[in-house]
A = this chain, B = another copy of it.
Amino acid sequence: MTEQMHKRVGSAEIAGILRREISKGTFVARDRLPPERMLAESYSVARGTIREALNQLAAEGLVEIRPGSGTYVAIGASEGTNPMVANAGPLELIDARFALEPHICRLAVLHGRLQDFDRMERLMEVMEAPGTDSVLFANADTEFHSVLAETTGNGLLIWIVSQINSVRNQEQWAQMRHLTLNEAIITQYNNQHRQIVNAIRTREPERAAVLMKEHLETARLSLTRAAAA
């Protein structure tokens, strides 16, 4: 068995990755992607592969390639999301999470397995790391709440939360993060995350739900406070 069958990383894979990155909000509309040579290095792939992937995205109208200048995310690139979802405001989002996440905690208590807790643990470690900036924290936080939803094993809830998270990655939310996420808030969030996970671990559904409500109340407060300023 000398054959290694290294998974062939092809243009389709790269195109898929970039598609996801764009729809996730890593690259926002009108922004310039890294040069082909740099993308090639970061994905450990030949430049020709990157070129082929970019040509696919260009054919889909997702990016615009300008020779000599760079490759830019097309203006209507992330319009795959629903208008209702795209126009959701911060308070609407918080209310929706208020509806969903406490009960998600209850269900997570019922279905939580060791591997779920491991994933949460890893994410909490990322969020608690000293050098974590607001962007890293926000990404880990979003994924943390996704894992919570996945723990329920309920495909419908998982999908709903993923849709909600797609809102959080919009452009306007980048500034919001910068305004609301100071060190004190992050510390508080980290404490609340730990408490929630502990409650789920010890199988206390109502306690987990209440803690999540408090967590969301904190988030709403820091939001309204930032809006006032």
Residues of A within 8 A of B (CB): 5, 7-8, 10, 12-13, 15-16, 19, 24, 28, 30-32, 34-35, 37-38, 69-70, 72, 82, 84-85, 87-88, 92-93, 95-96, 98-100, 102-104, 107, 152, 154-160, 163-164, 167
Count of identical protomers in the assembly:
2
Query: Contacts A28-B16, A30-B12, A31-B16 known; A99 to B157 CB distance under 8 Å?
Result: yes
Q: By the criterion CB–CB under 8 Å, are B157 and A95 in contact?
A: yes
CA of A5 to CA of B12, assembled, Å: 26
Query: Contacts A30-B15, A34-B7, A84-B159 known; A103 to B107 CB distance under 8 Å?
Result: no
CA of A103 to CA of B103, assembled, Å: 10
Q: Which of B38, B93, B103 contacts A7 (CB 8 A)?
A: B38
CA of A168 to CA of B88, assembled, Å: 24
Q: By the criterion CB–CB under 8 Å, are B95 and A107 in contact?
A: yes
Q: Which of B10, B16, B37, B160 contacts A160 (CB 8 A)?
A: B160
Q: By the criterion CB–CB under 8 Å, are A156 and B96 in contact?
A: yes
Q: By the criterion CB–CB under 8 Å, are A5 and B37 in contact?
A: yes
Q: By the criterion CB–CB under 8 Å, are A99 and B95 in contact?
A: no
Taking CB as reference atom, which chain B residue is nearest A213?
Answer: B103
CA of A24 to CA of B23, assembled, Å: 19
Q: By the criterion CB–CB under 8 Å, are A95 and B154 in contact?
A: yes
Query: Contacts A99-B104, A103-B98 known; A156 to B93 CB distance under 8 Å?
Result: yes
- Chain B min CB distance to A2 (Å): 14
CA of A154 to CA of B89, assembled, Å: 9
Q: By the criterion CB–CB under 8 Å, are A103 and B99 in contact?
A: yes
Taking CB as reference atom, which chain B residue is nearest A33?
Answer: B12
Taking CB as reference atom, which chain B residue is nearest A72?
Answer: B12
- Chain B min CB distance to A164 (Å): 7
Taking CB as reference atom, which chain B residue is nearest A93?
Answer: B156
Query: Contacts A5-B38, A95-B107, A107-B95 known; A156 to B31 CB distance under 8 Å?
Result: no
- Chain B min CB distance to A170 (Å): 13
Q: By the criterion CB–CB under 8 Å, are B7 and A155 in contact?
A: no
